[in-house]
Amino acid sequence: MKSKLNHAKSTICGMFLLFLVATLHAGVTNEWVCAGPDASATNALNWSLLHAPTAGETVLLGPTSTSNMTWAVTNALAGWVQTGGYTGTVTIETKYPGQGVFTNLVITGDCLVEGGVITHPANTGDSIEKERLFMTVNGDFTLGQNAAIDVSGKGYAAGRGPGKSGSAIYDPGATHGGVGGSAANGSAKQLTYGSITSPTNHGSGAGEPGGGTVVIHVGGTAQVDGMIRSVGVPGVGNASCAGAAGGSIWLTAATVSGGGTLDVSGLNGSYGGAGGGGRIAVVLGEGISTGDVLLKATGGTATVSGTPCGSGAGTIYVETAAHKPGRGRLIVANAGYTPLPSNRGYTLMPLAGQFREGPVNLDDFAEIVISGMGVLAINSDTIMTNFSTG
């Protein structure tokens, strides 16, 4: 009996010690010091604990080093903190499914980004998508006003993508959610693609690359006071003529608030058509408003025959707790320029095919809002039966 009692006490003590070790380990902070010969997060010399962050540790950037970082550590983390003093860029090397083992940066606690920039590598696939930013934050997510998530120019390379264009003078703009503006060398690229409610595709390139892809799933609240940005990048010379298309931002959270910006706008054209806007989706599990966060998916602008005009706006989808799943608000908001008939400045619903399992059903949306001289265009398989006069 005494032996069994001692064994029970030993087991309880062992369990307590395991609990204590686990609790203490969960509070361990590993600070970025960048003391090694490179900027890799897998290099043990770059960390205060002399090892790359392990499961359950919290990553800290800012107090000691503001150097850039390349992140390819695959295990989950307890937390992520970029202080306001951090001014570097963190490149997170998450991949599309089937393109690598590291597809999702998981943070089991909170993610606080008060300074610096987070991005993903430029897409290395010629006609396929390989690199994107994908994060799962089980706690709360905060993006401070002096911080940014910026994947501009990280999408399809110049002249690549389903809605690609070229770099010659007077080429049309590239397309994604909105149709690129046309110019003297031909009509606009009319192949829109991707999902409206869960966008995960890059923007197509023209003279320069299009916008990349940001997917952030937050279990708690998302406070967005900084900028999440995925637009094309301007070129020089002939590469600056036709504009690239905006990319994708997909944010889910219990609630979203703040005064920041989500931007997937198309790039302006110069002696060429402007790039079409990309796609934004914000899905809330509990909240009924996105607060003062600005959602921007306008097409780029250009001047055709002396008249300012624009390309097609991308799509903005907002689903709150007041909506049924998949039946939120569709917003088509452009920059306010009059769309010329020859310019093709419209937002065309994508066809079913490579990027969509089925056609777009406009009856699914609780509300459709068109503003800023936006033009909503339906495709050959678009479903629309309950369009009111409102």
What's the pLDDT at 240?
A: 83
Which of 15-24, 31-40, 153-162, 267-276 has the weakest average pLDDT? Answer: 15-24
pLDDT of res. 16: 34
Residue 30 in this model has a pLDDT that exceeds 60: yes
**Widest CA span of the chain, in angstroms?**
97
User: Looking at per-residue confidence, does 344 or 85 come out higher?
Assistant: 85
Please give the pLDDT value at position 191: 86
- Output 136 or 7, whichever has higher pLDDT: 136
More confident residue, 19 or 210: 210
Higher-confidence residue of 356 and 200: namely: 200
The mean pLDDT of 173-201, rounded to a whole number, is 86
Q: Which of 18-22, 165-169, 183-187 has the lowest mean pLDDT?
A: 18-22
- Per-residue model confidence (pLDDT) at position 3: 44
> Of 285 and 4, which is predicted with more confidence?
285
In three state form, how does the secondary structure of the chain look?
Answer: CHHHHHHHHHHHHHHHHHHHHHHHHHCCEEEECCCCCCCECCCHHHECCCCCCCCCCEEEECCCCCCCEEECCCCCECEEEECCCCCCEEEECCECCCCCCCCCEEECCCEEECCEEEECCCCCCCCCCCECEEEEECCCEEECCCEEEECCCCCCCCCCCCCCCCCCCCCCCCCCCCCCCCECCECCCCCCCCCCCCCCCCCCCCCCCCCCEEEEEECCEEEECCEEECCCCCCCHHHHCCCCCCCEEEEEECEEECCCEEECCCCCCCCCCCCCCCEEEEEECCCCCCCCCEEECCCCEEEECCEEEECCCCEEEEECCCCCCCCCEEEEECCCCCCCHHHCCCEECCCCCCCCCCCCEHHHCCEEEEECCCCEECCCCCECCCCCCC
pLDDT band, very low/low/confident/very high, at 325 (cuts 50, 70, 90): very high
- The pLDDT of 19-45, averaged and rounded, is 78
> Dihedral of CA 385/383/281/205: which sign?
negative
pLDDT tens, residue by residue, 90-121: 999 999 999 999 999 999 999 999 999 999 99
Hey, CA dihedral for 32, 35, 38, 42, is it positive or negative?
negative
pTM to 2 decimals?
Answer: 0.91
- Tell whether the model's pLDDT for residue 214 goes beyond 90: yes
> Chain-centre distance of CA 142, in angstroms?
15
Does residue 18 have a pLDDT over 50? no
Amino acid at 20: L
User: What per-residue confidence (pLDDT) applies to 344?
Assistant: 62
Q: Given the structure tokens 């089925």, which residue do they identify?
A: 358
C-alpha to C-alpha distances, 296 to 12, 125, 279, 301, 385, nearest whole angstrom: 57, 27, 9, 14, 28
> What pLDDT is recorded for position 4?
40
The model's confidence at residue 305, banded by pLDDT at 50, 70 and 90, is low
What is d(CA 243, CA 15) in angstroms, rounded to the nearest whole number?
61
pLDDT at 8: 43
Give backbone dihedrals phi and psi of 104, rounded to 5 degrees, phi first: -155, 120
- What per-residue confidence (pLDDT) applies to 19? 32
pLDDT band at 15 (very low <50, low <70, confident <90, very high): very low
Walk across the sheet containing 29-31 and list its strands: 29-31, 58-61, 79-82, 111-113, 141-143, 221-224, 255-257
Strand 307-310 to 301-304 pairing: antiparallel
Average of per-residue pLDDT values in the chain = 89
Rounded CA-CA distance 82/147 in Å is 9
The whole-number pLDDT of residue 168 equals 84
Distances (CA, A) of 190 to 82, 156, 177, 265, 377: 41, 17, 10, 17, 11
User: What is the pLDDT at residue 374?
Assistant: 92
Query: Is the model's pLDDT at 17 over the cut of 60?
Result: no
